[in-house]
Structure 1
């Protein structure tokens, strides 16, 4: 057994250096554990299913040049042309592009003329082909019918009488009963909007939004100064169709500006900030851990050089190499454990602040424990090489250095 009293006495004589290493470990644990929570949250968010056939969808935005442009007629002609193209599964018109970071949201009430208790959702104005175009899974109810589709001018008011919602929105709006057949209302409007269908999932326009997945679809075409299409292709044919679409749309009507993107590009662009944060935080965690390891190596070597004579005396008195190595490993464990205990308290305090001020997820205690164990293992690994070096100091060399 080790005599802890002499060890603690030696640490007390070198308390400043030991305390600095302990505080460095504490700070590293506090930062690394909270950074791990953020990284895990971002990775989980980016890995969420979108509910759409992202890899095979092309998004098109066009803006006509003439001011008296027949938007409704152009939309019908474009959709008919695109749906007839070989390799195209379906095409739809929409007021916004999913997972693009740009869209519209509104509050929906469950009672007419209500002012409080609305449920906020990202909404889409689209057509009966929208669900098939995106590859959404309709789990309850039915799709829109053509006779439910409404076309209105941009300066006109009013909307559709029916809506399809996501399962997440349905559960939030009607947590204790099925949303199918229920009614929604816009603001002070007493005109009911019947929920005729529920889709399993649609991430919406803002994947990083706290309410991402709360989505409502309306069969409505609002004529304006621009319009968007979504085109779904057969697997493996997206890039070929992509090259054809701009040419065919321009040939059909050259009086407009057209821009094409894939939904894969849109999703990657939306997650670019999350990807950067994951990479930066991962680099910071790696760098901090490396710096802590260097500090432990340097301190252990410094102490070994200072205690060369004492190590030689112990070897002369019968201490084995294993005894010497274990001494420095245990000494390092005492310092590391002190720092990690302080770091655990600091990590929990910082996490509470982040939860309350920045809406970050709470830190699970098992995750904090894993981070602490990893840092303890790193500290022991860092001290191992110097400890083995100390064990190789011979009694003769130590006495000659007196």
Structure 2
């Protein structure tokens, strides 16, 4: 019952339908394996730790109405007021909101007046309260001091002397380690900026950026036409503080437009496209697998109906139900194996193109093998019910069907 010659002979007589199923499996494996890599990569990105107490942080943006607005004085008064509110852990001023998809980046160099060898980083202008306000973990060095804070006008140039960086940025700039106490420079400047502290992580403004996590902090307040605050609350107090904050800020100074949002909302909004991609690709993979299974079921039933007489003859000659079922399962395995071999080659070719043209993650052989095993299992499961149906054909029924 396990001789390959009759099986191969039967498949050759039905080569068109068998080839179509094999090609369908090949295409499904190529698509599913590459889609799985993309889904896995997106899920890993969304699961990355931000380094911040995202669930308990409120972001405030305000824009003053008067042209001669005292921005520095307003910031000091606002921060004092917010830090005194019950349920508030700390508050800090910043030039941009983390994980919002909007921010600023710059190039840093290891030598003054350098033009090559830049290290790109997302940068923040903030104050000594930012570590506590964001819930960051300072793993080396120290925080900014109040005397290191500088206030400049919107059009004034400023050369800072101290910075704090993330561990990822430190490792990128100084792969040999020990970045603390080292100096960095802006490309066209000769003023050194000493790394006085290193925080464990901060995902930055753009979680989808290839360099997300390369972040630099400056102790600086630029008195521009708008400003942002980050307010960290005690767990469970965020929504209550959120309702109070706008009223209190407006009451303290009504000459401005105020907008509030939570950092959790920003993070969810930033990952909307990733979530959509994961859902769409998951649906596509499910539909393709279902269609393959449906095709195998239909083809197996068709072949069983065609071979009812032969099945009856084999039963009459002593073949058991298990023998008949195994015959169709082995036959299906040959088709599936052919399709999966073709699909493996197609998957690797497609992935190579995706890696080179779209910077997608590479498909590992282990992931490809897992996808192939899953599709092989689906194929055999889909053929199982028709095979069991074939095993129930009796010699008498086969004879009457002639």
Normalising to structure 1: TM-score of the pair? 0.99
Provide the C-alpha distance between the structure 2 equivalents of 1:310 and 1:47, rounded to a whole number of angstroms: 56
**Residues 289-300 of structure 1 aligned to structure 2 (within 5 Å):** 289-300=289-300
Per the alignment, in what secondary structure is the counterpart of residue 319 of structure 2? Answer: coil
Match of 2:135 in 1: 135
Structure 1 segments of 4 or more deviating over 4 A? Answer: none
- Contact preservation (8 Å) 1:150, 1:159: no
Provide the C-alpha distance between the structure 1 equivalents of 2:134 and 2:299, rounded to a whole number of angstroms: 60
| Structure 2 unmatched ranges of 5 or more | none
**Residues 3-402 of structure 1 aligned to structure 2 (within 5 Å):** 3-402=3-402
Provide the C-alpha distance between the structure 1 equivalents of 2:67 and 2:302, rounded to a whole number of angstroms: 80
Supply the RMSD in Å over aligned alpha carbons: 0.6
Normalising to structure 2: TM-score of the pair? 0.99
- Contact preservation (8 Å) 1:149, 1:160: no
Q: CA deviation at 1:160?
A: 1.9
Per the alignment, in what secondary structure is the counterpart of residue 79 of structure 2? Answer: helix
Q: CA deviation at 1:159?
A: 3.3
Q: CA deviation at 1:401?
A: 1.4
Q: What whole-Å deviation, never above 9, does each CA across 1:58-82 have from its counterpart, x for those lacking one?
A: 0000011111111111000000000
Provide the C-alpha distance between the structure 1 equivalents of 2:378 and 2:177, rounded to a whole number of angstroms: 53
Per the alignment, in what secondary structure is the counterpart of residue 108 of structure 2? Answer: strand
Provide the C-alpha distance between the structure 2 equivalents of 1:159 and 1:92, rounded to a whole number of angstroms: 21
Q: CA deviation at 1:53?
A: 0.5
Q: CA deviation at 1:22?
A: 0.2
Q: CA deviation at 1:177?
A: 3.1
Q: What whole-Å deviation, never above 9, does each CA across 1:292-333 have from its counterpart, x for those lacking one?
A: 000000000000011111111111111111111110000000
Provide the C-alpha distance between the structure 1 equivalents of 2:73 and 2:392, rounded to a whole number of angstroms: 88
Provide the C-alpha distance between the structure 1 equivalents of 2:372 and 2:249, rounded to a whole number of angstroms: 59
Provide the C-alpha distance between the structure 2 equivalents of 1:303 and 1:30, rounded to a whole number of angstroms: 27
Q: CA deviation at 1:394?
A: 0.6
Provide the C-alpha distance between the structure 1 equivalents of 2:138 and 2:252, rounded to a whole number of angstroms: 33
